[in-house]
Amino acid sequence: MTQSADAVVVGGGFFGMYLALLLKARGLSPVILERGPDFMLRASYHNQARVHNGYHYPRSLMTAVRSRVNFPHFLQDFPESIVEDFDKYYAVGRVLGKVTADQFETFMARVGAPLQPAPERVSRLFSSPLIEKVWKVREVAFDAGKLRLTMRKRLEEAGVEFYFEADARCLTHRADGAMELAVETNGGRRLYGTPWVFNCTYSGLNRLRYHSGLPLLPLKHELTEMALVQPPQELQNLAVTVMCGPFFSLMPFPDRGLWTLSHVRYTPHHAWKEGGSQSGTEAWQDAYEHFDRAVKSTDGPLMIRDAARYLPAMSKCRQEGSLWEVKTVLPQSELDDGRPILFHRDPEMRGLVSLMGGKLDNIYDIPQELAALGLGM
Amino acid sequence: MDKSLVVSVVVPLRNGAEILPAFLGELAGVLKEAYYFYEIILVDDGSTDRTPRVVAELLRVQERVRFLQLSRPYGREIATAAGLETAIGDFVVVMDALTDPPAMIPDLVARCRLGSGVLCGISSEPEKSGLLTAWATRLFHTYCRKVLDIDYRENSTDFRVLSRQAVNAVTRIRDRRRYLRIFAATLGYQQECFTYQPRTAVNQSRGGLQERVEHAIEIVIAQSRHPLRVVSRLGLLMSVLNVLYAGYIVAIYFLKPDVARGWTTLSMQMTGMFFFLFLILAVLCEYVGRILEETQERPLYYVAAEQTSSVLLETSIEKNILNEAKAI
């Protein structure tokens, strides 16, 4: 039996949930299909829980500016998920870095991001031969668990239909111009007739396209690891990011009561590409299957060792585990380190939109793209 | 042996495309066996052969290799310094791909851990050189030991192990002329030596007498103000002698009746000038020496690129094993 829906949102991550709320507000009745047993279990949960305020992208003006603009919106939208009980410091490394302290200051002045020199007691913690300068900035973290609850509550209040363990497999054209989406659930098979399918599956973006016989989007996946650590006493309530090269970043991870330590060199364990026509279409493989099979042996001790060279107190930090995830980026954003969102309307199947954001907090670019589809308010 | 130690191996390279694959395979084999975590840092000091391409290939195969490509040839010592500065290990091994045997690393690290901050290699093969060269070399080493207070051993090679503490100290030194052998010896950490048999003759690169003299001068000047001190003392001595000579001129003027006209004034003027000249030179020497110690804040090198191993799939994916055969 075929059910009909105004729009189907594939993927119950933060982007999918947010998009469904937007569609509902525009008078549509969307349905969310999530492959896993709950919302926000993959990349929306396994990330550094950072609400960007522009400081993180000193080489991509666009991303930095958008982050600055979106920052207050996000704080206003999700006050109960915001965690701000720590001081955030950015530092610039002397060796191997892609920016210098002067450049960093110039750039931040350009995007209007205030920098305060770090107090003496903090800058003393850093190793001066390796760190050029340290600033105190305003950047906050979010609690992924609380965010999940908030979003779920909003969906329920708005009356958005959602199904877990529902796997959107294949999309076909119907004679009347609408599309038909075949969905596998643990109860069996279901069909949706719908004019709009929003694919918000991040690493799984090409899965539906592959099964529907559509060309793959060029994506780059990485198997990534962040160490979950307990920082030593002298670094309590201190979050640190060293810019901009093979350096580390320490951020609170409120949902676990621990801190994530990521490292540009050690966080990506390996990478693979799919799609892209320049070198012949690379064969598709299920990113999450790849993830499940990959050997995950931690590089946490290496991250801690390297971090301790810049911030000696880090040598006393204790690793409690790791967060593993597939991280997906657009190959074109590799060069300038920007994180544009992908909003791709299929040229053939006009109702299929692929939506992917590199950061949780740039959802605010979506409404105007929806308006361009004729789904504005 | 403690497998949880993190060991970094720094290998400065120039034009090593031929030997690199075999060497890297051997090195990685030794390290993988001995440690859970290690890293190999290849520092390319401006190779003109296929080295970058060969390394790019190897990065796909070998895990935990980092390749640091300097923008132009800076010399072996600076390439080593670049490697040391980016190494993260608890212990850092510096070695030559051509001469030093990787199999020794685990024992050397264990030994370095037991006591000293620095462990340095001495070649068991005394280098072959002419009588004059050998004699001059010995004289220089004695000068280093006795006068400059540097424990610069004969036949020492670049194969060495440094503790994290020693590496941190070395990376604080930002001289443009760098001699790790000397630095390591002057750090104040206890230095130990080990003797080993290099695979091929070590000292090919050290060249003949003239080259060595230049090298020796560089070391002395980079490491010590001693020659400047000697010259400045000499200047002081000369000015004192001039004062004495002035006394002699005055004495002659009064005691001898037949002094030629003008000799006294001319002599006084000359001694006066020389006195001031040598005094000024002596003072200048001291200040130049002080400036020498204070200078050299500039970055040592610029890195053109850093790449990291990206080993894929076959090695990092568990085998897909079917435990049952299925009837079709």
Least Cα separation, residue B312 to chain A (angstroms): 6
ipTM of predicted assembly, 2 dp: 0.74
Contact between A295 and B318 using a beta-carbon 8 Å cutoff: yes
Summary mean pLDDT of chain B: 82
Q: Which residues of B touch A95 (CB under 8 A)?
A: 85-86, 303
Q: B66 burial class (0-12, 13-18, 19+ CB within 10 angstroms)?
A: buried
**Residue numbers of A between 110 and 139 with CB closer than 8 Å to B:** 127, 129-130
Least Cα separation, residue B188 to chain A (angstroms): 19
| Token pair 């090695």 in the structure block, residue | B315
Give kind and range of the element (H or E) at residue B276.
Answer: helix B263-294
DSSP state letter for B1: -
Rounded to a whole number of angstroms, the CA Rg of chain B reads 28
Any residues with CB less than 8 A from the CB of B11 and at least 6 apart, and which?
A: B27, B40, B41, B42, B43, B83, B94, B95, B96, B97
The answer to whether A331 touches A218, Cβ cutoff 8 Å, is yes
For the entire predicted model, the pTM comes to 0.78
Question: How far apart are alpha carbons B267 and B264 in whole angstroms?
Answer: 5
Q: A111 burial class (0-12, 13-18, 19+ CB within 10 angstroms)?
A: buried
Cβ–Cβ contact A295 with B under 8 A: yes
Contact between A271 and B316 using a beta-carbon 8 Å cutoff: no
Question: How far apart are alpha carbons A240 and B190 in whole angstroms?
Answer: 35
Helix axes B131-146, B209-223, angle to 10 degrees: 10
Rounded to a whole number of angstroms, the CA Rg of chain A reads 21
**Residue numbers of B between 24 and 43 with CB closer than 8 Å to A:** 36-37, 39
Closest among A115, A99, A101, A102 to A245, alpha carbons compared: A99
Q: Which residue in the set B6, B168, B313 is minimally distant from A302, CB to CB?
A: B6
At B30, is the pLDDT very low, low, confident or very high (cuts 50, 70, 90)? very high
Least Cα separation, residue A264 to chain B (angstroms): 10
Q: Closest residue of A to B37, CA-based? A: A302
Cβ–Cβ contact A154 with B under 8 A: no
The amino acid occupying position B117 is G
Question: How far apart are alpha carbons A192 and A1 in whole angstroms?
Answer: 9
Q: What three-state secondary structure class fits A218?
A: coil
pLDDT tens by residue, chain A, 377 residues: 689 999 999 999 999 999 999 999 999 999 999 999 999 999 999 999 999 998 988 877 878 888 898 999 999 999 999 999 999 999 998 888 788 898 899 889 888 899 999 999 999 999 888 899 999 999 999 999 999 999 999 999 999 999 999 999 999 988 777 899 999 998 889 999 999 999 999 999 999 999 999 989 989 999 999 999 999 999 989 999 998 888 999 999 999 999 999 999 999 998 888 887 655 556 788 899 999 999 999 999 999 999 999 999 999 999 999 999 999 988 876 665 666 788 999 988 999 999 998 888 888 888 888 988 888 75
Angular region, A240: left φ>0, alpha ψ -120 to 50, beta rest: beta
Q: What is the pLDDT of residues B160-208, one digit of tens each?
A: 999 888 888 777 776 666 666 666 666 666 678 899 998 876 555 556 6
Q: Which of B92, B170, B316 to mutate to test the interface with A (most CBs of A within 10 A)?
A: B316
Cβ–Cβ contact B63 with A under 8 A: no
Cβ–Cβ contact B218 with A under 8 A: no
Q: Which residues of B touch A223 (CB under 8 A)?
A: 316
Q: What three-state secondary structure class fits A207?
A: helix
Least Cα separation, residue A282 to chain B (angstroms): 15
Cα separations in angstroms, A303 against A93, A151, A246, A314:
16, 33, 11, 10
Question: How far apart are alpha carbons B141 and B144 in whole angstroms?
Answer: 5
